[in-house]
Amino acid sequence: MTSPDLNLLIALDVLLAEGSVAGAARRLRLSPSAMSRTLARLRDVTGDPLLARAGRGLVATPRGEALRDQAHQLVEEAQALLRPAGRHDPETLARTFTLRTSDGFVENFGPRLLARVAAEAPNVRLNFLQKPDKESAPLREGRVDLETGVIEPRTGPELRSQALFRDRLVGAVRAGHPLAGGEVTAERYAAAGHVIVSRTGHDDDAVDRPFLPAGFARRVVVAVGGFAPALALARTADLVATVPERHTAALREGMVGFPLPMPTGGFAVSMLWSPRLDADPAHRWFRGCVREVCV
């Protein structure tokens, strides 16, 4: 079955509104002869004259009259469908946004984000999910709306991203830890017992490893899967947790923090999203909320 030429629908709407081939040609910026050929095609497709001669003008046939309102409505709906999205109103938005992030982000930025969203969009719900890996599949498959983290070479190249803030590594210990007082040298830091955050349990896979000097060795006592359990252990034992400063500020409350005694690389924490959501007005509003609470 041959697909219909939907351009004919626009021509039908204009012809029935104008009741004139010449008038329709002017509105559509066509020549009268081209408009006449279009009317002939419409007559062939519908099996009806649609417009009939009456004196010097044209009048709609019964079939043409029956199609007038329907054709106009369909054209208006098509134009509205293809029109750029209008202004987004958060107050009327009813939607759930799922944010996948590492522990520390929720504790540090979650309260302000919740307050911001509740004030502007009371019918919006937020889901915070743990981020156990660097896989981009949840974003690509639409199971997650937004993700935060450090962009790496294996991050999906098709994903959109925007930096939220700069961060650096710091050491964190309990108040009675030997490193809580005196100068923290590289030797004292390396010799202390460390709790590392690693998805595999190995030091070379620790999340802080890419930002430490190459070949730097430390005495690892225990490995955990996130910043929160690392700091929980360091809070009650003689362990050093090396964590992002801004990302874990709320989790480190009451602990002693210190700059690392060796050169380390700073890094940007970014938000990432699927390109299919890039132009969505509601998603753009939510990204703006996340960006502003992280300033």
Q: Could you tell me the pLDDT band of residue 86, with boundaries at 50, 70 and 90?
A: low
Q: Which residue segment(s) compose the domain that 197 sits in?
A: 169-265
Residue 68: which H helix or E strand, with range?
helix 62-82
147 pLDDT higher than 60: yes
**Residue 81 pLDDT:** 74
Let me know if residue 1 belongs to a domain. no
Structure tokens at 276: 């299919």
**Residue 87 pLDDT:** 63
- The mean pLDDT value of the chain amounts to 91
Let me know if residue 101 belongs to a domain. yes
Counting residues of the chain whose pLDDT is more than 90, the rounded percentage is: 68
| Per-residue model confidence as pLDDT tens digits over 158-167 | 889 999 999 9
| Distance in angstroms (rounded) separating the CA atoms of residues 1 and 4 | 9
**Residue 2 pLDDT:** 65
User: 182 and 162, same structural domain?
Assistant: no
Q: Could you tell me the pLDDT band of residue 275, with boundaries at 50, 70 and 90?
A: very high
User: 207 and 95, same structural domain?
Assistant: no
| Cα 157 to chain centroid, rounded | 14
User: 206 and 238, same structural domain?
Assistant: yes
**Residue 104 pLDDT:** 85
User: 141 and 275, same structural domain?
Assistant: yes
| Distance in angstroms (rounded) separating the CA atoms of residues 220 and 228 | 17
The number of domains in the chain is: 3
Domain end, chosen from 51, 82, 113, is at 82
**Residue 85 pLDDT:** 59
Q: What is the CA radius of gyration of the chain?
A: 32
User: 256 and 140, same structural domain?
Assistant: no
User: 135 and 69, same structural domain?
Assistant: no
Let me know if residue 140 belongs to a domain. yes
Return the bridge partners of 124, or none: 95
**Residue 155 pLDDT:** 74
Domain end, chosen from 53, 82, 111, is at 82
72 pLDDT higher than 80: yes
Residue 253 backbone phi and psi in degrees, to 5: -55, 130
User: 61 and 132, same structural domain?
Assistant: no
| Distance in angstroms (rounded) separating the CA atoms of residues 244 and 269 | 10
Q: Could you tell me the pLDDT band of residue 84, with boundaries at 50, 70 and 90?
A: low
Let me know if residue 2 belongs to a domain. no
| Strand-pair category, 240-244 with 193-197 | parallel
User: 125 and 71, same structural domain?
Assistant: no
| Distance in angstroms (rounded) separating the CA atoms of residues 206 and 169 | 13
Domain end, chosen from 82, 115, 147, is at 82
Let me know if residue 21 belongs to a domain. yes
| Distance in angstroms (rounded) separating the CA atoms of residues 162 and 23 | 51
Q: Which of 11-15, 151-155, 275-279 has the lowest mean pLDDT?
A: 151-155
